[in-house]
Every structure is written in structure tokens, then in C-alpha cells.
């Protein structure tokens, strides 16, 4: 027992048989920020078969304080997070297949990405996407692990379809104060704590030790030394549209898909085309040169025009920085992109 996973195999709840199971499992991680980067690294080192990584953003200097997979060079190059993550994860464990998707995961993308997935890890920054994940998990009976953090506070909960309440059942019971990392800041220990809770639960699921899964929501504050576990068994709703007796999976309906959204706590609007398109970034760069300062790499294009900065991805999605006004953002998108 001197292989790369030997110390994990020596841990009796996993053992050789559990490690063999881990090597057959695929995990979808939605979000490649602080939580996503931490979970992706931990599961890559643990030796899962495949990680499907989805994120809509690129590496920024503000990410480097806590998002452990990324470097200054990634921020200088403005690499999409999943591209930078894949580069690093491949160096950590070449045995693990890393699939990187630069996209804002909507309903259609989610239905395609779910094929062959054994577990979904939440590393998002908004409840619209989490509720989509929740309905997806309930429909296809795939376990998923909710996680969030801000400031020195963190929260995690494991959801097993068919057992206990789902996220939709718990919406009025999840502790939240409306703050974001951009308004309240965040310290890396809070990230690492949530990542530890999420990945420990992930390993239990991957080795199929369901009896050991924590059935409670855990919340903590690393600065004020608070730690609370809340039992949620009685919160399950028989008439829940996501997990009840007659589920309709409302968040998988296209009418609920957001095409324009103000990003969490940021002076930024995301514009997402109703239908996926393919942008020739080289041609677009030439077209936009008269309108301001333009930078381009193989994954995205950046236009600085006055007080606004527009970042365009190959699938037609754009981040309009410098405004929270959706109408203004749409106007800028149509003016420059069409």
C-alpha cells in the first residue's frame, strides 16, 4: 500500500474498496470561485474519475486572496476560471479527467452536463442557480451539497433526493443576511471550513457510506467562535413542487431562466443571449477597436469604453462592468455586439 492514495485507503471508512468506488465516480462542480476551486482540488487529489467544472467568470486580482487554484499570471491574462483551474488540476493529478466549461449554466446546459454525474457540488453565488441545481438533482435523483460563505461565516447542507427536505423546502429556514463577499468581504478560513464540510460529505457519498452523512445544516462563524447544527427533518413539505408527492420541478422551466442579471454584490450586469451563439473574437476585436481600448485572448475579449468595461465570451455572453442598470447594460451590449 504505497500508492498515491495509500493514506486515504488506510482510513478505514474508505479503505481499498472505497477508493475503488471513488475512482469510478464523476462530480459536477457548479462555480469555480473560492468554494469550487477548493472542492475541485480536494476531489482531484482524492482521485475521482471525472470532474465537470462550470463557471461564467474569469480570474481577477481580487480572487487571489482566497481562490487557491489561481496565480497572478492567471489574473494578468484574465483566464476564465475553469481554464486556469483545469491547467492546475492537471498538474496535481493527471489521472483525473477534468472537463472545463466556460458558461453560465442554464436549464439546457444543466440537462446536458448531468449525464453520468454521481454528485453535484454547489459553489455558486446565487439562489437562482442553486434552485436550478436542486430541481435537477431531484429530477435525476443525484445527491448534491449546498455551501456558502461570506465574511467569517459559512454554511453547508447535504441533500439526498427522496430523503429529507430539499432546498426549496428550506428557503424560509436558511440563515441569511443578504451580504455578499463584495459588500462584507471574506476571509479564507471561512472558505476552507465550508470546503472541508462539503468535501467530507462528498467522500461519504462517493464511497456510498450514506449512514455517515450529516443530516443537519451546519453554520459557523470562525471569528466569533460560533458553531451551530440545525436539524431539518421536519422541514420537508409534502406539497413541495421540487421534491413533494407531485413534483413539477419549477426551476427547470424555461420561463424561469434569467437572461439578464446583476451579479452578486458587484457593479456588473451579465447579458446572456436567449440562444447560444459563437463569436469570432478576432473579428470582433477588429470591429471594436475604434470604440475604445480592446484586449483579447483565446477565451474572451475586453472593451474599455468610458466608465464601462464590457467583457465578451465566445458564446455571446457578456459582463458589463460599471453599471447595475439592466437597460443600460442591454443598450451597451446591442451597441457594441449587436
Residue 168 sits in a domain whose CATH number is: 3.40.50.720
Q: Which CB contacts under 8 angstroms, 24+ apart, belong to 15-18? A: 18/206, 18/207, 18/209
Domain hosting residue 121, numbered range: 6-255
Tally of structural domains, the chain: 2
> Are both 276 and 242 inside the same structural domain?
no
> For residues 38 and 106, which has the higher predicted lDDT (pLDDT)?
38
Answer with the one of 255, 270, 291 that is the final residue of a domain: 255
> Given the DSSP bridges, would you call strands 260-262 and 97-102 parallel, antiparallel or unpaired?
unpaired
The confidence band for 333, taking pLDDT boundaries of 50, 70 and 90, is confident
d(CA 313, CA 304): 15
- Same domain as 139, residue 231: yes
Residue 110's nearest CA partner among 76, 134, 83 is: 134
Task: Give the mean model confidence (pLDDT) for residues 196-208.
Answer: 98
Residue 272 is part of a domain; what is its CATH number? 3.30.310
Judged against a pLDDT cut of 50, whether residue 241 lies above it is answered with: yes
- CA 67, 229, 43, 131 dihedral sign is negative
Domain boundary, last residue among 190, 222, 255: 255
Same domain, 18 and 90: yes
pLDDT over 80 (residue 250): yes
Q: Are 259 and 272 in contact (CB under 8 A)?
A: yes
Q: Is the pLDDT of residue 335 over 90?
A: no
Percent of the chain exceeding pLDDT 70 equals: 93
pLDDT exceeds 90 at position 2 = no
Least confident of 156-165, 214-223, 286-295: 286-295
Q: Is-contact 66 34, C-beta < 8 A? A: yes
Residues 197 and 294 in one domain: no
pLDDT at 58: 92
Top-confidence residue, 160 or 256: 160
- The pLDDT, as a whole number, for residue 173 is 59
Kindly state whether residues 17 and 129 are assigned to the same domain.
yes
Domain boundary among the residues 240, 255, 270 is at 255
- Residue at 151 is within a domain: yes
Secondary element (H or E) of residue 207: none
How does residue 178 score in pLDDT terms, banded at 50, 70 and 90? low
Question: What local confidence, expressed as pLDDT, does residue 79 receive?
Answer: 96
Residue 336 confidence class, pLDDT cut points 50, 70, 90: confident
Percent with pLDDT over 90 in the chain: 72
What is residue 30's predicted lDDT score, i.e. its pLDDT?
97
- What residues pair up with 294 in beta bridges, in sequence order? 303
Query: What confidence score (pLDDT) does residue 1 get?
Result: 45
Give the span between the Cα atoms of 191 and 155, in whole angstroms: 10
Provide the grid cell at 8: 486515504
CA distance 127 to 92: 31
- In the block, which residue shows the cell 453560465? 104
Distance CA 264, CA 33 (A): 13
Note the pLDDT of residue 277.
77
Give a yes or no: residue 1 inside a domain. no
Give the count of beta carbons closer than 10 Å to the beta carbon of residue 172: 6
pLDDT digits (tens, 9 = 90+) for 73-114: 999 999 999 999 999 999 999 999 999 999 888 888 999 999
Is residue 11 over pLDDT 90? yes
Q: What residue spans of the chain are helical by DSSP H?
A: 6-10, 15-22, 34-46, 72-77, 81-92, 107-113, 127-140, 167-170, 181-184, 188-206, 281-288, 326-336
pLDDT above 70 for 179: no
- For residue 279, how far is the Cα from the chain centroid? 24
Residue 265 CA to residue 94 CA, distance in Å, equals 36
pLDDT higher than 70, residue 274: no
Amino acid at each position: 500500500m504505497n500508492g498515491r492514495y495509500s493514506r486515504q485507503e488506510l482510513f478505514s471508512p474508505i479503505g481499498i474498496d472505497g477508493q475503488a468506488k471513488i475512482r469510478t465516480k464523476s462530480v459536477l462542480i457548479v462555480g469555480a470561485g473560492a468554494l469550487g476551486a477548493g472542492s475541485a482540488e480536494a476531489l482531484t487529489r482524492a482521485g475521482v474519475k471525472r470532474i465537470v467544472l462550470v463557471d461564467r467568470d474569469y480570474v481577477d486580482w481580487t480572487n487571489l486572496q482566497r481562490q487557491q487554484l489561481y496565480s497572478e499570471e492567471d489574473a494578468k491574462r484574465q483566464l476564465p476560471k475553469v481554464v486556469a483551474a483545469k491547467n492546475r488540476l492537471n498538474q496535481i493529478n493527471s489521472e483525473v479527467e477534468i472537463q472545463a466549461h466556460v458558461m453560465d449554466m442554464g436549464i439546457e446546459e444543466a440537462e446536458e452536463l448531468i449525464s453520468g454525474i454521481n454528485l453535484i457540488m454547489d459553489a455558486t453565488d446565487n439562489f437562482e442557480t442553486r434552485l436550478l441545481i436542486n430541481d435537477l438533482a431531484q429530477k435525476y435523483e443525484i445527491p448534491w451539497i449546498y455551501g456558502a460563505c461570506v465574511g467569517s461565516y459559512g454554511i453547508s447542507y447535504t441533500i439526498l433526493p427522496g430523503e429529507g427536505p430539499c432546498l426549496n423546502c428550506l428557503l424560509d429556514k436558511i440563515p441569511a443576511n443578504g451580504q455578499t463577499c463584495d459588500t462584507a468581504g471574506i476571509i479564507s478560513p471561512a472558505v476552507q471550513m465550508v470546503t472541508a464540510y462539503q468535501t467530507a460529505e462528498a467522500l461519504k457519498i462517493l464511497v456510498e457510506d450514506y449512514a455517515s452523512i450529516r443530516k443537519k445544516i451546519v453554520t459557523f462563524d470562525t471569528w466569533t467562535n460560533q458553531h451551530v447544527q440545525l436539524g431539518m427533518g421536519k422541514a420537508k413539505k409534502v406539497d413541495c413542487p421540487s421534491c413533494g408527492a407531485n413534483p413539477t420541478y419549477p426551476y427547470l422551466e424555461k420561463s424561469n431562466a434569467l437572461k439578464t442579471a446583476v451579479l452578486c454584490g458587484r457593479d456588473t450586469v451579465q447579458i446572456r443571449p436567449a440562444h447560444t451563439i459563437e463569436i469570432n473574437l478576432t473579428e470582433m476585436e477588429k470591429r471594436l477597436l475604434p470604440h475604445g481600448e480592446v484586449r483579447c485572448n483565446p477565451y474572451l475579449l475586453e472593451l474599455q469604453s468610458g466608465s464601462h468595461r464590457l467583457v465578451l465570451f465566445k458564446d455571446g455572453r457578456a459582463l458589463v462592468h460599471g453599471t447595475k442598470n439592466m437597460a443600460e447594460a442591454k443598450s451597451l451590449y446591442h451597441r457594441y455586439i449587436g
